[in-house]
A and B are shown apart, each in its own frame.
Chain A
Amino acid sequence: MSTKKNNLLISCEEAKHICDKMQYGEATFLEKLKLNLRILWCKATKSYSKRNVNLTKLCQEAEIKTLDTQKKNEMKEKINTSQSQA
């Protein structure tokens, strides 16, 4: 007798995990299908998905810049040098 589960039904936690991966283009086609099926009937997943997509959009619009690690290390060195000279 087959004990295989219906793989298209996922938990809320799993749906959130797939939704997070989707924001970075790392969800597979099957995962997207599972998520979209859950969104059809689960309000919590639908709400999370909406907020998550919104956050991705905001981060893209904001065009946040960060200093690279090398530059940060240079800054740390200069601070250390300046502190040791003082």
Chain B
Amino acid sequence: MPKNKLDPSKWVDEYADYLYNYTITRVNDTIVAEDLVQETFLAGLKSAKNFKGEAAERTWLISILKRKIIDHYRKINSTKGKAEVKMGYSNREDQEGDWLEDTVADPFDINAEDALQNKELGMAIQECLMKLPKKQADVFIKKTIQGMDTEDICKELNISASNLWVIVHRARTNLMDCLENNWFKK
């Protein structure tokens, strides 16, 4: 009997945000990322009969998404006909010959490293959010990530303000514990 089963009716609620963040860190384009997530779900439906149940549902969807991202890059490269290579040559005469130094990493320029770390952190937070009870994750995302007003969230989820703060408190405590175990101890 397979360990894992597919439930496409829950895919959007449970995995869309995770897959979207995974994609956006790789394609840097919100529209393309949305399309790729959508294509992943549809491709998942088509190949659902091939799912053996050995991998978790999310892992299986990620493997489809990875192929979609590779296909996306293949497509845009074939459209352009070639890969773009940018080189930082200077046109200024006084800097002639300095181009070799442009290829050496600047140890004081940590922006790229910071950005990479922030992307990894984003995925770690997403992983922890997925471990939360659904209501806690919903409220936390609306309040913290989407920056919605307390009143609006209460109306949408039909809860009282005091109930919302209890849920926020539980979500934050669980997230802190999860991040301490999965991010800081890495």
Q: What is the interface of chain A, defined by CB distance below 8 A to chain B?
A: 16-17, 20-21, 23-24, 26, 51-52, 54-56, 58-59, 61-67, 71-72, 74-76, 78-79, 82-83, 86
Q: How many residues of B contact A (CB 8 A)?
A: 39
Which of B41, B125, B179, B183 is within 8 Å of A75, CB to CB?
B41
Q: Interface majority SS on A: helix, strand, loop or mixed?
A: helix
Q: Does B54 contact A (CB under 8 A)?
A: no
A19 to B136 CA separation, bound complex (whole angstroms): 18
Q: Does B45 contact A (CB under 8 A)?
A: yes
Complex: chain B residue closest to A74, CB-CB: B38
Which of A23, A26, A65, A86 is within 8 Å of B45, CB to CB?
A86
Q: Give B121-148 as 1s and 0s: 1 = Cβ < 8 Å from A's Cβ atoms.
A: 1101110000000000000010111100
A85 to B143 CA separation, bound complex (whole angstroms): 37
Residues of B contacting A26 in the complex (Cβ-Cβ under 8 angstroms): 150
Residues of B contacting A65 in the complex (Cβ-Cβ under 8 angstroms): 17, 20-21, 24, 30
Residues of B contacting A66 in the complex (Cβ-Cβ under 8 angstroms): 17, 20, 141, 145-146
A1 to B179 CA separation, bound complex (whole angstroms): 51
Contact present for A76 and B45 (CB under 8 Å): no
Contact present for A24 and B169 (CB under 8 Å): no
Residues of B contacting A58 in the complex (Cβ-Cβ under 8 angstroms): 121, 125, 179, 183
Contact present for A79 and B34 (CB under 8 Å): no
* Of listed A56, A64, A78, residue having the most chain B CB within 10 A: A64
Residues of B contacting A21 in the complex (Cβ-Cβ under 8 angstroms): 165
CB distance from B68 to the nearest CB of A (A): 14
